[in-house]
Amino acid sequence: MEFRHVPVLFNETMEALKVTPGGTYIDGTTGGGGHSSGICQRLEGKGLLVAVDRDMDALRASEKRLEPYSCSKKFVHTNYSDIETLKNQCGPRGADGILLDLGVSSFQLDNPDRGFSYMHDAPLDMRMDEDDSLTAYDVVNKYDQKELERIIREYGEERWASRIAQFIVRSRDNSPLMSTGELVDVIKAAIPARARREGPHPAKRTFQAIRIEVNGELDHVRKAAESLPDILAPGGRLAIITFHSLEDRIVKQAFNKRLNPCTCPKNIPVCVCGKVPDVKKVTGKPVVPGKEELEANPRARSAKLRVIEKLDAASREE
């Protein structure tokens, strides 16, 4: 299956990264190489792209797509939160730009074999890295009811989490749930008919929740948003595209902590902790897709882009 990838907020992201020939840039979620190709084009044959993905299919597709570009390229099979590996790849000076696009790729959603989609009947998998051991089958069939309910409520923001968890446990008591199709049927049975007639597909939120759990997504987002600024060169930018409120909240909080690191009690008139910001905000409110992009790519509708820039030593002391 061809790895189709429609890069979200492409122009906005390229502008935010300020790609400069000769620089070093990390695409931590290279996917099919959509954003990576934009970076390579702007490097004009001078500089380095570090293309990272936890999905080997994505890396292979990205490598093929980026063949026409003459800049230096490294393809790294790891998670974008693997800070030490990324630091080693970009050298002692650091990265001039880092991009994370946290959306699930169209390839993963549309490939029935991967089990990400509620629109195809497939084995319960949902692993972004097929070397990982935990699968959607394990979550659905081995987690207790209370834990299932927590995951579906917190990660899926699903109002019917309690009933869905109850119905899953009741169904698996007869026989394990083996496929996405079986899980969709259970979810539909759990949600009252009147609720199924409104809003998105009834299984959307539960599938999102299980996918997040299988891949440890929120933990990786938190670690990356907090630590990736450490490997930016002065003037380097970190751009993160999120697709749901849980991710966006984590990124916003991590950026704000960098922007406001002072730990002094608020009633003290002068800072005594000595902690000063090492980044500045590039975007105020998050950047969102325009009407034209939404018409061309409806999957972009929930995307939000936040960007910060690393300060040099002189700017921090001012």
As annotated, the binding site includes: 33-35, 53, 80, 101, 108
Q: Measured between alpha carbons, how far is 158 from 201 in angstroms, rounded to an integer?
A: 12
Distances (CA, A) of 48 to 6, 20, 21, 42, 156: 23, 11, 9, 11, 37
Cβ atoms within 10 A of the Cβ of 64, count?
A: 12
Residue type, 224: A
* Strand pairing report for 48-53 and 279-281: unpaired
Contact 208, 244 (CB under 8 A): yes
* Residues sharing a CB contact under 8 Å with residue 57, sequence separation 6 or more, in sequence order: 3, 107
Half-sphere exposure of 76 (CA within 13 A, CB side): 24
Contact 52, 78 (CB under 8 A): yes
Q: Measured between alpha carbons, how far is 171 from 140 in angstroms, rounded to an integer?
A: 10
Residue (of 289, 232, 288) closest to 18 by Cα position: 232
159 backbone dihedrals φ, ψ, rounded to 5°: -70, -25
Tokens of 162: 């309690």
Partners of 100 in beta bridges: 240
* Residues sharing a CB contact under 8 Å with residue 220, sequence separation 6 or more, in sequence order: 79, 80, 81
26 backbone dihedrals φ, ψ, rounded to 5°: -115, 125
Q: Is 150 helix (H, G, I), strand (E, B) or coil?
A: helix
Binding residue ranges for S-adenosyl-L-methionine: 33-35, 53, 80, 101, 108
* Strand pairing report for 48-53 and 24-27: parallel
- The conformation of residue 45, written as its DSSP 8-state character, comes to T
